[in-house]
């Protein structure tokens, strides 16, 4: 598969496009390690659900884009070994040339492959799987199917988490959430859509997630101090929308 790569810049931010106006990734040129887009920040809320600083150790990323998630984890979770599966070699080339993808084979492995085929054919285990793969028309294809989510579950470690970028304004959104819930025996939750219309779904295996809001806020404050990532507004938005029954986040 090939993608017609386009790069644009506006107000100090560099954007990645696949031959359309749809934004596939972004980087603030003055802060290349920061997470520029709302949805990428919310995908990293997984670090609040498993707040151990030594977690995760093995991460699988399906879809590279502008390498935002790779760079963030590479910088702020030095113990993590990152495997990236990207279907289009042009995307990898653009990430290296324009978005400062780290060149460190000891910690960042890049496989050019179809994410569905790679996951179903692998026997590796990961603490965290991040899925953010769309084509030029914002279609996830096989990355949004029950067999794929089931294969992701099989690849997770005993305290593993799945984080998936969904399009909250897509008419198929509810069906996508239903597939994730079915694959993980209902151990899934979805954050309400952020400003850009994306909604992040999380699913878990193994050790339960059961955290009071006060503890989540404390973890978010610590994460902001150590990485610059501010998830306190996300928690405030979730609280306003009554996303924490009984004042606890359970997964």
Q: CA 145, 198, 204, 208: dihedral to nearest 10 degrees?
A: -150
Is 132 annotated in the active site? yes
Q: What is the dihedral of CA 167, 66, 237, 51, to 10 degrees?
A: 110
Q: Annotated catalytic residue: which of 21, 52, 103, 132?
A: 132
Measured CA to CA, the distance from residue 44 to residue 53 in angstroms comes to 13
**DSSP result, 47-67:** HHHS--TT--SEEEEE--TTS
Which residues lie closer than 8 Å to 62 by C-beta, 6 or more apart? 85, 115, 118, 119, 129, 130, 131, 132, 133, 143
Do 248 and 212 meet the contact criterion of CB atoms below 8 Å apart?
yes
Q: Which residues are catalytic?
A: 132
């Amino acid at each position: 598969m090939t993608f017609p790569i386009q790069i644009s810049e506006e107000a100090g931010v560099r954007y990645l496009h696949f031959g359309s106006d749809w934004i596939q990734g972004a980087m603030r040129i003055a802060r290349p390690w920061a997470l520029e887009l709302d949805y990428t920040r919310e995908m990293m809320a997984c670090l609040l659900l498993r707040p151990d600083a030594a977690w995760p150790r093995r991460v699988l990323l399906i879809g590279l884009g502008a390498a935002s998630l790779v760079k963030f984890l590479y910088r702020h979770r030095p113990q993590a070994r990152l495997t990236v599966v990207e279907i289009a070699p042009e995307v990898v080339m653009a990430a290296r040339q324009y978005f400062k993808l780290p060149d460190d084979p000891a910690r960042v492995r890049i496989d050019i492959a179809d994410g569905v085929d790679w996951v179903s054919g692998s026997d590796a285990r990961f603490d965290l799987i991040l899925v953010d793969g769309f084509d030029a028309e914002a279609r996830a294809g096989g990355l949004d199917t029950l067999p794929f989510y089931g294969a992701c579950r099989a690849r997770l470690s005993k305290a593993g988490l799945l984080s998936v970028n969904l399009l909250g304004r897509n008419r198929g959104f509810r069906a996508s959430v239903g597939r994730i819930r079915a694959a993980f025996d209902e151990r899934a939750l979805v954050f309400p859509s952020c400003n850009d219309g994306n909604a992040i779904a999380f699913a878990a295996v193994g050790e339960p997630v059961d955290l009071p809001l006060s503890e989540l806020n404390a973890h978010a404050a610590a994460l902001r101090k150590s990485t610059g990532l501010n998830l306190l507004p996300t928690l405030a938005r979730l609280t306003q929308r009554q996303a924490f029954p009984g004042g606890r986040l359970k997964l």
